[in-house]
């Protein structure tokens, strides 16, 4: 999807630094671009009758400065996005069967836990290319706000509970119970703040080296540091008091049981008494949180752990409590992931040579992975639900390394055919996400039935209700 249409699972504009001239232009003289030449075009001087961009021109019939060759896009960005979408579809449909690739119940990471950071990372990369030229900062900000708002509201509709699950044919959601946060909402928040940083926190310095690039974007890195320090201070500094929640009574749909959770601690990173959940309960309300948290699959809460199962005897009181894995405080580090992706996009914008790009990507990516494992070893465990600092480092570092691998294979070595499917999926990422991950396609299929709603196409395929 194009950045101008949705602004999130978006693909970038053409990369103005990635320019190649085909053999057919050997008889044309490449003119030297002066300071007034737009960065996203290459001008050629016509020496004979020629065809450029499928338009026939002849010498003397057109001013050479009016003929612009649009450079090809970086295919690796589409492939990366498409691979992430494919990974998302895989873990959504196979994760329930193979718990090893499903989201980790709490501490630790699995294959599924890389999907969200990969999406956030590629959004940041794309934003660096989208905003490489800014005619008007105010207009760009207004458009970014509007796109983010649309995406956030879109996420509330798709993931707030209005559309039913595969085994639940009830439509609609009580406004007092609707889930406010979610995957699309988190990406919308990260997109907006990253876009605003790129629009307003950029110096006018000329980039000649890696050091000068860091100087040009130093205010953005200060913002990243502030976010990281703020998250860490709140996670380990806030006191979490006792709290309670309600669950529907088994005997009556009109009554509920009140369950109390004892905390009274500070700096706890377990499922029950962490600051991430406390902030969401205070600001969003416990009734607006995700009703099926991953920690329900922990050994304390499931007899079939790491899969869902019945509650074991003497299960903790928090096992059935709502918890949002895309909550407010955890989204702070999601913004950091997007900002680091933005830095990787800056490397595309300012460095033309393959070697420079690869080195500028590989070193920080590998460093982040090392730092993440060191933090995990020191007790700051990798945790997707909390979006911990170690989890941020490892996942965004892995995203950078994966981007390097795809870039070398597709854009440097030219092995494009093996990645054509992922390239196509990357260009239609938002549509695939909605159909495959938001139950839109199953809902459409379940809309056709015979005699009674339970007799639908999904049941015929062995997917729907049993």
Q: What is the tens place of the pLDDT at every residue in 6-63?
A: 334 544 444 333 223 233 323 333 232 333 333 444 444 444 444 444 444 444 444 5
Residue 248 lies in a domain: yes
Over residues 391-407, the pLDDT tens digits come to 999 999 999 999 999 99
For the CA atoms of 432, 426, 196, 364, what is the dihedral angle to 10 degrees?
130
325 near 51, Cβ under 8 Å?
Answer: no
Return the pLDDT at 254.
Answer: 54
At residue 174, the pLDDT reads 79
Residue 364 is assigned to a structural domain of this protein: yes
Q: Do the strands 68-69 and 42-45 form a parallel or antiparallel pair, or are they unpaired? A: antiparallel
pTM for the whole structure: 0.82
Query: What is the rounded average pLDDT for all residues in the chain?
Result: 82
Q: Is 332 part of a structural domain of the chain?
A: yes
**Lowest-confidence range among 109-118, 154-163, 303-312, 328-337?**
154-163
Q: Could you identify the residue written with the tokens 């005699």?
A: 451
Share above pLDDT 70 across residues of the chain, in percent, rounded to a whole number: 80
Of 126-130, 206-210, 252-256, 428-432, the least confident: 252-256
For residues 462 and 270, the model is more confident at: 270
Answer yes or no: is 387 within a domain: yes
**Between 1 and 440, the higher pLDDT residue:** 440
Residue 37 domain-assigned?
no
Cα gap 146→142, rounded to integer Å: 6
Residue 231: its pLDDT value, please?
98
Query: Would you place residue 68 in the very low, low, confident or very high pLDDT band (cuts 50, 70, 90)?
Result: very low
* pLDDT tens, residue by residue, 318-375: 999 999 999 999 999 999 999 999 999 999 999 999 999 999 999 999 999 999 999 9
Quick check: is 61 in a domain?
no
Tell the burial category of 368 from Cβ atoms under 10 Å away from its Cβ (0-12, 13-18, 19+).
Answer: buried
The per-residue pLDDT for 444 is: 75
In a domain, 102, yes or no: yes
Q: Measured between alpha carbons, how far apart are the two ends of the chain, in Å?
A: 37
Q: pLDDT tens-digit profile of 125-144?
A: 999 999 988 889 999 999 99
The region of weakest confidence among 140-154, 187-201, 323-337, 451-465 is 451-465
Q: The domain containing residue 207 runs over which residues?
A: 75-447
Cβ 433 vs Cβ 9: under 8 Å: yes
Q: What is the pLDDT of residues 196-221, one digit of tens each?
A: 999 999 988 888 888 899 999 999 99
Average pLDDT over residues 254-276: 90
| Residue 376 phi, psi dihedral angles, 5° rounding | -65, -40
Q: Structurally, how many domains does the chain consist of?
A: 1
Q: Which two tokens stand for residue 96?
A: 């329930």
Better-scored residue on pLDDT, 148 or 12: 148
Q: Tell me which of 208-217, 280-289, 400-409, 438-447 is least confident.
A: 438-447
Q: How far is CA 141 from the centre of its chain?
A: 20
Q: Is 2 helix (H, G, I), strand (E, B) or coil?
A: strand
Q: Is residue 461 part of a domain?
A: no
d(C-alpha 25, C-alpha 42), whole Å: 13
Q: Are 426 and 78 in contact (CB under 8 A)?
A: yes
């Amino acid at each position: 999807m194009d950045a101008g249409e949705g602004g999130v699972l978006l693909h970038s504009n053409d990369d103005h630094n990635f320019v190649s001239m085909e053999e057919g232009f050997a008889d044309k003289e490449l003119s030297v671009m002066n300071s007034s030449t737009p960065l996203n075009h290459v001008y050629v001087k016509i020496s004979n009758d020629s065809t450029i961009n499928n338009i026939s021109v002849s010498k003397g019939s057109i001013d050479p400065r009016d003929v612009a060759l649009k450079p090809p896009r970086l295919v690796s960005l589409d492939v990366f996005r498409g691979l992430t979408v494919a990974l998302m579809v895989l873990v959504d449909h196979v994760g329930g069967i193979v718990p090893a690739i499903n989201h980790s119940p709490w501490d630790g990471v699995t294959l599924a836990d890389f999907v969200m950071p990969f999406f956030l990372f590629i959004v940041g990369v794309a934003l660096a290319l989208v905003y490489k030229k800014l005619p008007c900062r105010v207009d760009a900000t207004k458009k970014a706000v509007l796109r983010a708002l649309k995406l956030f509201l879109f996420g509330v509709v798709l993931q707030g509970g209005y559309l039913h699950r595969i085994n639940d044919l009830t439509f609609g959601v009580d406004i007092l119970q609707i889930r406010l946060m979610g995957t699309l909402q988190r990406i919308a928040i990260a997109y907006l703040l990253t876009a605003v940083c790129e629009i307003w926190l950029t110096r006018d310095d000329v980039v000649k080296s890696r050091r000068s690039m860091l100087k040009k974007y130093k205010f953005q890195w200060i913002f990243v540091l502030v976010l990281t320090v703020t998250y860490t201070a709140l996670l380990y500094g806030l006191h979490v008091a006792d709290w309670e929640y309600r669950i529907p009574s088994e005997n009556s749909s009109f009554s509920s049981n009140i369950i109390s959770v004892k905390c009274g601690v500070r700096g706890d990173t377990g499922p029950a008494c962490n600051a991430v959940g406390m902030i969401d309960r205070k600001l969003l309300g416990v009734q607006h949180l995700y009703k099926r948290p991953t920690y329900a699959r922990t050994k304390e809460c499931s007899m079939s752990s790491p899969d869902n199962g019945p509650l074991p005897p003497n299960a903790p009181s928090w096992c059935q409590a709502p918890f949002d894995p895309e909550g407010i405080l955890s989204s702070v580090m999601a913004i950091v992931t997007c900002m680091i992706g933005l830095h990787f996009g800056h490397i595309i914008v300012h460095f033309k040579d393959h070697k420079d790009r690869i080195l500028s990507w590989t070193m920080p990516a590998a460093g982040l992975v090392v730092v993440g494992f060191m933090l995990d070893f020191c007790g700051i465990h990798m945790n997707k639900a909390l979006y911990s600092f170690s989890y941020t480092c490892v996942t965004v570092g892995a995203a950078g390394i994966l981007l390097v691998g795809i870039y070398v294979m597709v854009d440097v070595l030219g092995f494009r055919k093996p990645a054509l499917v992922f390239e196509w999926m990357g260009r239609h990422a938002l549509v695939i996400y909605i159909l495959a991950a938001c139950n839109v396609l199953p809902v459409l299929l379940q809309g056709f039935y015979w005699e009674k709603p339970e007799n639908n196409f999904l049941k015929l395929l062995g997917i729907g209700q049993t």
